[in-house]
Structure 1
């Protein structure tokens, strides 16, 4: 039994109970169930068949959430398309994904062609959910080229266990096309919780209002979001039953503030696009008198194996992707083991701590998204006057990291930072916007001739 079976079963009961809220839209369970089947019918009428890839370029709306369920209902491959990439990377992603259809929110249609979501619903034709389907999520990889992590539907036991959790009111802060947002939406639908969708672009004012007006009980943050809420003049008090934080390294100082504000309900969850759940630090084990409990990401989740190899965190288990679309499955290349790209260690009690990322990905923005520095480096050297370029993350109290550029320029050609910034945004999107630049005579190199970004980052410590 898949999560889709459980969602439809839940939506078949308590028909007038509110199920999804987003913007001006409020859907009951019966309305949500009806729309799932109508969206599935619309896809079928347009020729979508089991096994086809369906790319969804969508925001945080009730209709978009139910579209993802409808794609899986038909046994299709759901391809999440995030809004961060620039036009060139979006086109490369869609081509690589080999999809039969693209569905877009009207607000995104100026960036990607496809069927408009509001035009998609057909008739409420009852269908038996497919037994097999996959979810494909975008990740830029360390080279900056788009990669697509494939997660097949598995672990029905997990969803049966989730279904036994008591329903509550859950607020989704992250995009539903990201792993955390997708997980929150599915958990809410399976448990029969009321799902409240925050705006597609996080806004602390909106969070405060929704948390108050909808009497939110559980929510999930990436660290910069939580920091903004904690600093908000109307930050909610201890109303939550559970607050999950993940997606980037979390400041122990800020975690302490959250626990002091909301009580012993805040916990860390460690995962990534390629491995959706790796470790968790339960709220009940966070002890303000023991600082180490504020730094650890906890112990491995049940069923997951975690090893430290030469300082790198390796994982294997049911939460790990099958592989990247178009590339050999992990089980054929490394016995199912995945190098997370994070560096860490275990203490004597089996708690995992993360030290740093071993790759050069810059994690920034209020939603802790990835900037792939190689992609930025390659673009920068196409601009007039720039001979060499290296983008690194500079520590930032509000965003975790911001993009900083080290440039080697032509002696007789001064560069305009504002022009560089505008060109980057136009080509790669706002997420890649640099916050500062340092002009150098040469870039430091490793012994094998590669740019030594560790030495560049060390300038900010």
Structure 2
């Protein structure tokens, strides 16, 4: 016997319809590329998104065709999130931090019909346009007064606000198949060409539900959310969708991601929750410390994209009373997979024990199942000691890549993350390495992530990265590369002495190299392959 419940498809546009109907007065604040602050409400967002949907139809964009965006976090980008996906086309967010060759490859591979871009990226668009066969239509996300007078594009250049003004807001969102594609995001391409991950309306809505839960990102209508994590990569971790679902106020930072600009926005708009990668938060914390500031409203920050050093967690929580939610995910997971949210019994643990838990990537949100397997493929125990390949599955996990050029990645229905991890008895997962980054010394495994976390506890260390360097006797040995804090005179011997007693003696790196900066990829992740290429023969 079947249930007697209504059948309504899970569609991205329904989030906007809900926000318009139930939270129409809620504010959306954006720092614009033009330099000013823009304010409007969810009902304005909904109206302009409908206008843009009519504009896309007038441009001849068909259901299923890809529409590219090269833009910062802002209200116009938000409008495209719904206008494109809601009308049946596919939103393709482009990462401006990628190399121009990779951008050209992605645009061509996705067969984008049109690309919308913020004015910041006009030079990038001018460089990419001659390298691609399509699109030949580009839309500058600005008004007529700020349109560039001259440009080197080989195609038609249109004005975003003109496109909005030309069309009516009378638009009925179509009743789409919930399994149809809604958006497309390519991996960061740290090795080889980036791969496209094609999200569906259904997977996006389910991810939004799960990520908003109390034990996930814990979002509500009482929140003021600042997504620092970019809308051009994995949908800003789903926060624009979550805000519509719960009715939270949204604050968009635009292109100004330095510590001073973010702090001013946080304080002025009374932000309660923000999300970003560790490198961004390092800049924010440095600014606040320099001016002896405090956070008057922010009480939670989500940190992901790279492991969060315990020193950063400690500073946020003990000095500024801002709880840290350490999270983990991937482009292929839409992206949220785990969040480090305490269980009830863990609240009674000592501070040191709680920090040890917070160093982990956390436990699965509902919808994500995970396991670790050994080299023989057999599942390993959840005892906090056994480490193996991390596999995941769930309704918002990719089963194959867009374009069908590659062999489907799944292993017996599970997605291989490429991470080496441990899982404890409470279900908390901790990544010990990427499978390609793990160090094998004298036949034994060494966790580079553990060494990095301990090194970052030193007060004079801004960033630390540990790589495997080839060794004549042990095959590989750990090599530590460190960025010191300004004016620090920290020496190699002092840092190695600091590691004594904090990691296994045989794990201790044989050398420390102080560097001015660490190479970061398009999503803020450390490019260890570059460091291995440069320093991998250091001990030979």
TM-score range, shorter chain: 0.7 to 0.9
2:186 corresponds, among 132, 138, 145, to: 138
2:424 maps to: 347
Pair 1:147 & 2:195 matched: yes
Distance (whole Å) between structure 2 residues aligned to residue 297 and residue 201 of structure 1: 28
1:293-332 residue pairs with structure 2 within 5 A?
293-310=357-374, 311-327=388-404
| Alignment CA distance shift 1:116-1:125 (3 Å) | farther
Tell me the CA shift for residue 307 of structure 1: 1.4
Q: Which has the higher Rg, Structure 1 or Structure 2?
A: 2
Distance (whole Å) between structure 2 residues aligned to residue 77 and residue 134 of structure 1: 5
Tell me the CA shift for residue 195 of structure 1: 0.7
| Alignment CA distance shift 1:454-1:281 (3 Å) | farther
| Alignment CA distance shift 1:27-1:79 (3 Å) | same
Pair 1:63 & 2:76 matched: yes
1:45 maps to: 58
The answer to whether the Cα contact below 8 Å between 2:301 and 2:322 also exists between their aligned partners in 1 is no
1:116 maps to: 140
- More displaced stretch, 244-253 vs 292-301: 292-301
2:378 maps to: none
| Alignment CA distance shift 1:92-1:281 (3 Å) | same
Distance (whole Å) between structure 2 residues aligned to residue 37 and residue 393 of structure 1: 53
Cα deviations by residue, 1:149-199 (Å, 9 ceiling, x for unpaired)? 122222545545749933421111121111262512221122221110113
Cα RMSD of the aligned pairs, angstroms, is 3.7
Pair 1:21 & 2:45 matched: no
- More displaced stretch, 227-236 vs 83-92: 227-236
The answer to whether the Cα contact below 8 Å between 2:227 and 2:236 also exists between their aligned partners in 1 is yes
Tell me the CA shift for residue 89 of structure 1: 1.5
Extract unaligned runs of 5+ from structure 2. 1-9, 130-137, 143-158, 214-218, 375-387, 439-447, 450-478, 486-516
Cα deviations by residue, 1:356-398 (Å, 9 ceiling, x for unpaired)? 12236999xxxxxxxxxxxxxxxxxxxxxxxxxxxx9945468
Q: TM-score, normalised by structure 1?
A: 0.75
Q: TM-score, normalised by structure 2?
A: 0.65
- More displaced stretch, 188-197 vs 175-184: 175-184
Distance (whole Å) between structure 2 residues aligned to residue 353 and residue 309 of structure 1: 14
1:388-399 residue pairs with structure 2 within 5 A?
394-396=481-483
1:255 corresponds, among 304, 310, 313, to: 313
The answer to whether the Cα contact below 8 Å between 2:182 and 2:198 also exists between their aligned partners in 1 is yes
Extract unaligned runs of 5+ from structure 1. 364-391, 399-420, 439-451
Cα deviations by residue, 1:317-354 (Å, 9 ceiling, x for unpaired)? 12312421112798785343222122111123322111
| Alignment CA distance shift 1:242-1:457 (3 Å) | farther
| Alignment CA distance shift 1:334-1:147 (3 Å) | same
The answer to whether the Cα contact below 8 Å between 1:59 and 1:176 also exists between their aligned partners in 2 is yes
| Alignment CA distance shift 1:216-1:129 (3 Å) | farther
Pair 1:337 & 2:417 matched: no
| Alignment CA distance shift 1:331-1:217 (3 Å) | same
Pair 1:218 & 2:277 matched: no
Distance (whole Å) between structure 1 residues aligned to residue 270 and residue 30 of structure 2: 13
Distance (whole Å) between structure 1 residues aligned to residue 72 and residue 274 of structure 2: 18
2:225 corresponds, among 170, 173, 176, to: 170
The answer to whether the Cα contact below 8 Å between 2:274 and 2:301 also exists between their aligned partners in 1 is yes
Tell me the CA shift for residue 43 of structure 1: 1.0
| Alignment CA distance shift 1:27-1:337 (3 Å) | same
